[in-house]
């Protein structure tokens, strides 16, 4: 692999603007090379005696290569290590000299940028190390107090120095123990615990501006929580140090490589001289990161791993999610099975003329809505797998943005395995349940076969809730946690995974209605005659038909309200208005499909049109960050990850077109070759595809925002809060 590609592949995506612009420096070298070629060709075209004079003059007038460049280091006042390096090129009079001077100006600018960025990051790491050291002192004292407690003691413990003195005489407690107890008491004085686990009660306290702190209670449960939090903080800190170390190495290597190329192209010998300056800079000469890493290693090994170095290093090293061959094989196997089943179904339906049987309409109104739920889920998961694939190609750090636990994030092959596995299972169920005729004598269907969709749904739910460490338990629990936070939207701080999943639910309205039909179809025992008369005539079912369509938008509305309260940002007010308007439009369209009438039609048209315009603008301008004024890319934005601009234009057009699928509802379009339920399913699939497209550009925009702010690491909440920290907050 060429160094340029390796350099880009090893970059921290969120820091890419802070790296040496290796590609641009190479373009300057290409200009130097082109200029020198022209110069050589011109010199060769001169008469022989002129060439000899030129060579003789050049040889006699040339100075030593050691004087091709001269360095100047400027130290900024008040900052010992904040130095700016300037390189003066002394051969500007030679052919290509201007390009060479431009090369060194650019190289100096890039190197000073890297050196300054590295110094600032090291300074922040040093401050974070001091904070972790204070937390570690508190943990050691906390452990000692917990060990002192008897199992029957109360949660809170107060230490009396006089009592300790008398006890020391009775139990021959050494002076060292008394000093240690007093030291532990001093360390823990004025410290409170930070509560990071959110509950509805903590949400109310947040709204009321009550601090998320609690008195120290010296219990083993609290000790375990503190140890887990502090261990996570040390792991995150250590891996951040590793990224800084890699940042220094990569940029130093880039300067070395580009200088070697310069020497070769310009026929100079100054790379060694320039690298001596680089080696003396803070970027290369500082050993602060190494010291901090050694200190973090020793702390974790001693206090969290019982001095077991192997265990400690396994804990600190980044975890990688390995792509296994069996995953690829299983994905291909289930894809082949699903494809074969689809072909077989089509052949059986055609051979038996099933679509022409009297039971076809009954089947489409009962069994089809049950099975299409799994089709919606499979399609959505396939779109998510495609998103992961393209995020990986364009280096969107989706695992960091979503906050996945390191080493547990699923790759696109894992996601495809789940989708094709579910698709194969669903198609097998359809095969077993394909009969569209009832018993002619009893006018009844077989109960076992009619319960197959319910069994399949129960199996999927059971696998999702399975507590055992199988089938990507970490990802399943992450999904369930975020889903619960979406349902309890007002009581939890809204993070990106929360509103991202809630947005996915807004594109699965028909899937939620299918779940509602499951409850009605099996709850009222309509499955015995394969009919939906009870569901159609039931007022409760009709009411929930409205509610189910509104629930996802209502959850997003509540999330916006929570963000308005916490962040006091006017943009969330506009976003909340968008979802409120969408709720009204969805209810009006649903009312029109059930009641018809000119009034319902007109109001559905008006509100749906306004909601569509509002939502489309929000998608493209706010969520995708496109249509920016004054940017270098016409009607897009300055930074684009996809090199082909037509992709963005096509995505905007598709978003607008797919947003208009609601027109079928108000226009009441009908196709003779399509059953109504089939048409509803196709329109729902179009909405899922639109959401999949939205997902890619939404996360791309989020990634670029992180890049602009150099946010590459999660902020791990520390377990203890000191008095001075609270004073600063106040």
Could you read off the pLDDT of 318-329 as tens digits, one per residue?
Answer: 777 666 788 999
Q: Are 717 and 230 in contact (CB under 8 A)?
A: no
Q: What is the pLDDT of residues 218-229, one digit of tens each?
A: 888 888 888 888
Same domain as 364, residue 436? yes
Instruction: Write b or e for each residue in 578-590: b if 16 or more Cβ atoms lie within 10 A of its Cβ, otherwise e.
Output: bbbbbbbbbbbbb
pLDDT at 662: 77
> Is 455 a residue whose pLDDT tops 80?
yes
Q: Which pair of structure tokens corresponds to residue 154?
A: 């109360």
pLDDT at 675: 83
Instruction: Write b or e for each residue in 122-147: b if 16 or more Cβ atoms lie within 10 A of its Cβ, otherwise e.
Output: beebeebbeebebbbbbbebbbbbbe
> Is 406 a residue whose pLDDT tops 90?
no
Q: What is the pLDDT of residues 541-589, one digit of tens each?
A: 888 888 998 999 999 999 999 999 888 889 999 999 999 999 999 898 8
Start-to-end CA distance of the chain, whole Å, equals: 54
Assigned domain for 491 exists: yes
Same domain as 459, residue 411? yes
The rounded distance, in Å, linking the Cα atoms of 306 and 312 is 9
Q: Name the nearest CA neighbour of 534 among 509, 515, 512, 517.
A: 517
pLDDT at 366: 86
Same domain as 513, residue 639? yes
The rounded distance, in Å, linking the Cα atoms of 336 and 607 is 45
Number of C-alpha atoms within 13 angstroms, CB side, residue 101?
11
Average pLDDT value over all residues in the chain: 83
pLDDT at 377: 97
Same domain as 605, residue 578? yes
Mean local confidence (pLDDT), 512-533? 85
Q: What is the pLDDT of residues 114-155, one digit of tens each?
A: 999 999 999 999 999 999 999 998 888 888 888 876 544 444
The rounded distance, in Å, linking the Cα atoms of 558 and 201 is 17
pLDDT at 61: 37
**Stronger pLDDT, 43 or 486, i.e. the higher one:** 486
The rounded distance, in Å, linking the Cα atoms of 265 and 259 is 10
Q: Scan for tokens 């922040």, then name that residue.
A: 124
Q: Are 470 and 387 in contact (CB under 8 A)?
A: no
> Is 424 a residue whose pLDDT tops 60?
yes
Same domain as 344, residue 291? no
Q: Are 139 and 233 in contact (CB under 8 A)?
A: no
Same domain as 573, residue 479? yes
Instruction: Give Cβ neighbours of residue 566 (< 8 Å, ≥ 6 apart).
Output: 206, 493, 494
The rounded distance, in Å, linking the Cα atoms of 710 and 14 is 5
pLDDT at 179: 60
Number of C-alpha atoms within 13 angstroms, CB side, residue 36?
15
Same domain as 437, residue 540? yes
Q: Name the domain count of the chain.
A: 2
Assigned domain for 230 exists: no
| Domain with 663 in it | 325-708
Q: Name the nearest CA neighbour of 11 among 275, 290, 239, 251.
A: 251
SS3 306: coil
Same domain as 348, residue 304? no
Per cent of the chain over pLDDT 90 is 45
Between the alpha carbon of residue 70 and those of residues 75, 89, 91, 274, 491, the distances in Å are: 17, 7, 11, 9, 63
Same domain as 409, residue 358? yes
Residue 158 backbone phi and psi in degrees, to 5: -120, 140
Mean local confidence (pLDDT), 636-640? 91
Mean local confidence (pLDDT), 661-675? 74
> Is 617 a residue whose pLDDT tops 80?
yes
Tell me the whole-structure pTM to 2 decimals. 0.84
Q: Which pair of structure tokens corresponds to residue 433?
A: 């349940």
Q: Are 427 and 345 in contact (CB under 8 A)?
A: yes
Same domain as 466, residue 514? yes
Assigned domain for 660 exists: yes
pLDDT at 58: 40
Assigned domain for 446 exists: yes
Q: Name the nearest CA neighbour of 418 among 369, 470, 467.
A: 470
Q: Which pair of structure tokens corresponds to residue 691?
A: 């959401």
Q: Which pair of structure tokens corresponds to residue 424?
A: 């194969």
The DSSP output letter for 495 is P
Of the given ranges (226-235, 418-427, 428-437, 681-690), which has the lowest mean pLDDT?
428-437
Q: Are 509 and 549 in contact (CB under 8 A)?
A: yes
Q: Which pair of structure tokens corresponds to residue 319?
A: 């975890």
pLDDT at 163: 44
The rounded distance, in Å, linking the Cα atoms of 246 and 11 is 9
Q: Scan for tokens 């190390």, then name that residue.
A: 129
Between the alpha carbon of residue 23 and those of residues 18, 86, 633, the distances in Å are: 14, 21, 20
> Is 202 a residue whose pLDDT tops 70?
no
Place 535 in a pLDDT band, splitting at 50, 70 and 90: confident
Q: What is the pLDDT of residues 238-286, one digit of tens each?
A: 999 999 999 999 999 999 999 999 999 888 888 898 999 999 999 999 8
> Is 669 a residue whose pLDDT tops 80?
no
Residue 202 backbone phi and psi in degrees, to 5: -65, -30
- Residue 200: other Cβ atoms inside 10 A: 11
> Is 213 a residue whose pLDDT tops 60?
no
Assigned domain for 385 exists: yes
> Is 162 a residue whose pLDDT tops 50?
no
Same domain as 673, residue 549? yes
Assigned domain for 198 exists: no
pLDDT at 686: 95
Instruction: Write b or e for each residue in 28-46: b if 16 or more Cβ atoms lie within 10 A of its Cβ, otherwise e.
Output: bbebbbebbeeeeeeeeee
The DSSP output letter for 319 is P
pLDDT at 296: 93
pLDDT at 374: 96
Assigned domain for 216 exists: no
- Residue 413: other Cβ atoms inside 10 A: 17
The rounded distance, in Å, linking the Cα atoms of 586 and 635 is 31
Same domain as 245, residue 347? no
**How many residues can be counted in the chain?**
730
Assigned domain for 335 exists: yes
């Amino acid at each position: 692999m060429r160094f340029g590609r390796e350099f880009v592949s090893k970059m921290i995506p969120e820091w890419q603007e802070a790296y040496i612009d290796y590609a641009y420096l190479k373009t300057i070298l290409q200009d130097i090379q082109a200029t020198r070629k022209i110069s050589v060709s011109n010199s060769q075209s001169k008469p022989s005696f002129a060439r000899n004079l030129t060579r003789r003059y050049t040889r006699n007038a040339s100075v030593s290569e050691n004087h091709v460049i001269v360095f100047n280091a400027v130290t900024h006042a008040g900052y010992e290590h904040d130095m700016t390096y300037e390189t003066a090129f002394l051969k500007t009079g030679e052919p290509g000299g201007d390009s060479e001077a431009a090369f060194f100006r650019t190289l100096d600018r890039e190197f000073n940028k890297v050196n300054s960025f590295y110094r600032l990051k090291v300074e922040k790491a040093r401050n974070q190390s001091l904070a972790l050291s204070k937390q570690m002192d508190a943990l050691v004292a906390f452990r000692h107090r917990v060990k002192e407690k008897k199992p029957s003691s109360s949660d809170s413990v107060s230490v009396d120095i006089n009592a300790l003195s008398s006890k020391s005489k009775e139990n021959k407690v050494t002076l060292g123990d008394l000093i240690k107890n007093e030291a532990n008491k001093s360390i823990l004085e004025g410290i409170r615990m930070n509560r990071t686990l959110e509950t509805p009660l903590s949400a109310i306290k947040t709204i009321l501006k009550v601090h998320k702190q609690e008195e120290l209670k010296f219990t083993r449960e609290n000790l375990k929580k503190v140890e887990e939090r502090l261990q996570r903080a040390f792991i995150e800190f250590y891996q951040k140090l590793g990224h800084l170390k890699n940042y220094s190495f990569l940029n130093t290597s880039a300067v070395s490589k580009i200088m070697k190329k310069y020497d070769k192209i310009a026929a100079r010998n100054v790379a060694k001289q320039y690298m001596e300056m680089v080696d003396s800079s803070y970027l290369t000469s500082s050993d602060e990161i190494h010291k901090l890493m050694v200190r973090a290693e020793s702390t974790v090994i001693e206090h969290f791993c019982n001095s077991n170095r192997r265990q400690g290093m396994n804990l600190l090293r980044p975890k990688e999610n390995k792509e296994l061959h069996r995953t690829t094989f299983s994905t291909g196997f289930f894809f082949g099975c699903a494809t074969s089943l689809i072909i077989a179904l089509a052949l059986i339906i055609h051979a038996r003329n099933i679509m022409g049987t009297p039971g076809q309409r009954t089947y489409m109104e009962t069994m089809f809505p049950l099975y299409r739920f799994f089709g919606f889920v499979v399609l959505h998961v396939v779109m998510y797998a495609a998103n992961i694939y393209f995020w990986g190609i364009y280096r969107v750090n989706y695992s960091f943005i979503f906050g996945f636990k390191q080493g547990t994030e699923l790759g696109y092959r894992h996601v495809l395995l789940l989708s094709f596995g579910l698709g194969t299972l669903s198609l097998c169920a359809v095969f077993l349940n394909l009969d569209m005729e009832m018993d002619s004598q009893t006018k009844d269907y077989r109960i076992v076969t009619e319960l197959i969709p319910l069994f399949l749904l129960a199996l999927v739910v059971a696998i999702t809730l399975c507590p055992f460490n199988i089938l990507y338990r970490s990802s399943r629990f992450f999904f369930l946690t975020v889903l619960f936070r979406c349902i309890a939207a007002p009581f939890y701080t809204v993070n990106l995974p929360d509103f991202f999943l809630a947005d996915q639910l807004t594109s699965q309205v028909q899937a939620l209605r299918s779940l509602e039909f499951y409850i009605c179809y099996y709850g009222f025992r309509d499955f015995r005659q394969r009919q939906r008369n009870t569901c159609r005539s039931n007022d409760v079912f009709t009411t929930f038909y409205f509610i189910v369509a509104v629930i996802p938008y209502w959850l997003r509305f509540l999330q916006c309200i929570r963000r308005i309260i916490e962040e006091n940002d006017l943009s969330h007010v506009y976003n909340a208005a968008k979802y409120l308007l969408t709720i009204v439009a969805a209810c009006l369209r649903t009312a029109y499909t059930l009641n018809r009438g000119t009034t319902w039609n007109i109001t559905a048209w008006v509100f749906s049109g306004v909601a569509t315009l509002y939502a489309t603008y929000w998608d493209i301008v706010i969520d995708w960050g496109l249509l920016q004024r004054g940017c270098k890319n016409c009607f897009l934005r300055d930074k684009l990850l996809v090199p082909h601009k037509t992709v963005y234009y096509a995505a905007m057009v598709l978003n607008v077109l797919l947003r208009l699928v609601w027109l079928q509802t108000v226009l009441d379009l009908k196709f003779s070759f399509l059953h109504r339920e089939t048409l509803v399913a196709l329109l729902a699939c179009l909405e899922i595809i639109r959401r999949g497209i939205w997902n890619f550009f939404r996360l791309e925009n989020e990634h670029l925002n992180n890049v602009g702010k150099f946010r590459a690491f999660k902020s791990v909440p520390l377990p203890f809060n000191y008095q001075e920290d609270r004073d600063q907050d106040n």
